Structure 1
Amino acid sequence: MQNVYESMSLFYKNKPKGTPFLFPKDITERFLRRNAWKGADDDELKHQWHALSLLLTVAAEWKLDTWDFVSIGDYREMFRRFIASRKHLKTPELVAELDFFFNVLESFCKFYEKDAEYLLERLTEARESFFAANMFLLPKPQEKDDFYSVLEHKDMLQPEDMQQLNECLDTLLNTLGDYYHTGKYLVDFTRAIVMYGGQDFDPQDTADSQEREDFFYGFWDYFLFDYHLLDSDLNPLENYYKHEHNRLSFTDASILRDLLKARFTVFSIESVDGDVVICRDIFTDENLELPVPESYITDYRKTIFMGHVHSGGVMLLNYITTIPASHKLQERIKREVMRQYELFRYQQPEAGLEDFFLREAASVRQLIRIMTEYAQLNVLPFRQYPEPVERDSHPLPEGFDTVAKVLDDMGRASGIGIYSRSLLKGLYIDYCILGSDTPETMKSPIALAAIFYVFMIVNGMQPKDARRFINRLKHPWEKIKQIADSIYNTLKCIPFDPRYLTEDSFVQMLYAER
Structure 2
Amino acid sequence: MTNIKNVYDEVRVFFNEESEWDSAIKREWIEGFLRQKAWQGATDDTLRDAWRNLHMFVLYLAYSGETVVDEMTASEYSLAVEWMIVQIEDFKPNIKTVRHLFDVLQEFYSYLAAKKLIAETTELQQAAEFMTGGKRLKFIEAGTEEEELQGLFDEGEASSTKTLLTMPKDLGRIVGEAVERLMLKFSAYFQQENFVDDFDRALMLYLGPLGQMPEDENDDEFWLGFWDYFLFDYHLLSNDRTPLVQFNMDYSDRLSAEERKILQELMGAKFTVFYVESVINQDWVECINLLTEEKFRLPNPNYDYKLVKKLLFYGHVFLQQEEKELVMINFITSVEISNNLRRRIKEEIIRQKAMLELQQSGTTWSDFVQRHANAVRHTIDLLATWARVNVTSYAQVERKFPQPPSDGNAIIINSEVTELIGRFMPQFGYSRHDAVLAQKMWQDFAHMGTVNVRKPAAWASAVIFSYSQINSGESEVPAETLAEEMAVSKSSISVNRAKIFEVLKLERYDPRYLSEEGMVALLYDLQ
CA separation of 1:396 and 1:171: change in aligned 2, threshold 3 A: farther
Q: Which deviates the most, 388-397 or 450-459? A: 388-397
User: Once the 2 structures are TM-superposed, how far is the Cα of residue 409 of structure 1 from its aligned partner?
Assistant: 1.0
The corresponding residue for 2:441 is: 427
Alignment of 1:199-278 (within 5 A): 199-203=209-213, 205-207=214-216, 212-272=219-279, 273-278=281-286
Question: Is this contact kept in 1: 2:465–2:477, CA < 8 A?
Answer: no
For the residue of structure 1 that corresponds to 2:309, the secondary structure is helix
Give the letter aligned to residue 286 of structure 2: I
The corresponding residue for 1:167 is: 177
Matched, 1:307 2:320: no
Question: Is this contact kept in 2: 1:206–1:215, CA < 8 A?
Answer: no
Q: CA RMSD in A?
A: 2.6
Matched, 1:192 2:202: yes
Question: Is this contact kept in 1: 2:244–2:267, CA < 8 A?
Answer: yes
User: Once the 2 structures are TM-superposed, how far is the Cα of residue 291 of structure 1 from its aligned partner?
Assistant: 2.8
CA separation of 1:240 and 1:392: change in aligned 2, threshold 3 A: farther
Give deviations 1:196-231, integer Å, cap 9, x for gaps. Answer: 12111322x34286xx21111111111111101111
Matched, 1:408 2:422: yes
CA distance in 1 between counterparts of 2:197 and 2:430 reads 11
User: Once the 2 structures are TM-superposed, how far is the Cα of residue 313 of structure 1 from its aligned partner?
Assistant: 2.3
Give deviations 1:114-168, integer Å, cap 9, x for gaps. Answer: xxxxxxxxxxxxxxxxxxxxxxxxxxxxxxxxxxxxxxxxx96572347898222
CA distance in 2 between counterparts of 1:388 and 1:418 reads 26
User: Once the 2 structures are TM-superposed, how far is the Cα of residue 435 of structure 1 from its aligned partner?
Assistant: 3.5
Give deviations 1:467-512, integer Å, cap 9, x for gaps. Answer: 2432333422222211110110111000011101111111111112
User: Once the 2 structures are TM-superposed, how far is the Cα of residue 398 of structure 1 from its aligned partner?
Assistant: 3.8
CA separation of 1:350 and 1:483: change in aligned 2, threshold 3 A: same
Question: Is this contact kept in 1: 2:311–2:334, CA < 8 A?
Answer: yes
Question: Is this contact kept in 2: 1:267–1:280, CA < 8 A?
Answer: yes
How many residues align structurally?
355
The corresponding residue for 1:335 is: 347
Question: Is this contact kept in 2: 1:304–1:323, CA < 8 A?
Answer: yes
Give the letter aligned to residue 184 of structure 1: N
Give the letter aligned to residue 464 of structure 2: F
User: Once the 2 structures are TM-superposed, how far is the Cα of residue 298 of structure 1 from its aligned partner?
Assistant: 6.5
List structure 1 segments (4+ residues) > 6 angstroms apart after TM superposition: 162-165, 294-298
Question: Is this contact kept in 2: 1:227–1:236, CA < 8 A?
Answer: yes
Q: TM-score, normalised by structure 2?
A: 0.63
The corresponding residue for 1:100 is: none
Give the % identical residues.
Answer: 28
CA separation of 1:395 and 1:183: change in aligned 2, threshold 3 A: farther
CA distance in 2 between counterparts of 1:294 and 1:181 reads 38
Give deviations 1:335-364, integer Å, cap 9, x for gaps. Answer: 000000000111101111110110111111
Give deviations 1:424-478, integer Å, cap 9, x for gaps. Answer: 000100110113422x33x522122111111111113349753243233342222
CA separation of 1:248 and 1:494: change in aligned 2, threshold 3 A: same
CA separation of 1:410 and 1:391: change in aligned 2, threshold 3 A: farther
The corresponding residue for 2:451 is: 437
Question: Is this contact kept in 1: 2:470–2:508, CA < 8 A?
Answer: yes
Give deviations 1:49-105, integer Å, cap 9, x for gaps. Answer: xxxxxxxxxxxxxxxxxxxxxxxxxxxxxxxxxxxxxxxxxxxxxxxxxxxxxxxxx
CA distance in 2 between counterparts of 1:243 and 1:317 reads 26
CA distance in 2 between counterparts of 1:267 and 1:372 reads 15
CA distance in 2 between counterparts of 1:463 and 1:157 reads 49
For the residue of structure 1 that corresponds to 2:346, the secondary structure is helix
User: Once the 2 structures are TM-superposed, how far is the Cα of residue 418 of structure 1 from its aligned partner?
Assistant: 1.3
Question: Is this contact kept in 2: 1:460–1:509, CA < 8 A?
Answer: no
Matched, 1:494 2:504: no
User: Once the 2 structures are TM-superposed, how far is the Cα of residue 399 of structure 1 from its aligned partner?
Assistant: 5.8
CA distance in 2 between counterparts of 1:170 and 1:295 reads 26
Alignment of 1:286-325 (within 5 A): 286-293=294-301, 299-313=307-321, 316-318=327-329, 319-325=331-337
Q: TM-score, normalised by structure 1?
A: 0.64
For the residue of structure 1 that corresponds to 2:355, the secondary structure is helix
Structure 2 unaligned regions, length at least 5? 1-42, 52-99, 101-174
Question: Is this contact kept in 2: 1:450–1:483, CA < 8 A?
Answer: yes
The corresponding residue for 1:354 is: 366
In structure 2, which of residues 381, 384, 397 is the aligned counterpart of residue 372 of structure 1? Answer: 384
CA distance in 1 between counterparts of 2:187 and 2:377 reads 21
Question: Is this contact kept in 2: 1:237–1:260, CA < 8 A?
Answer: yes
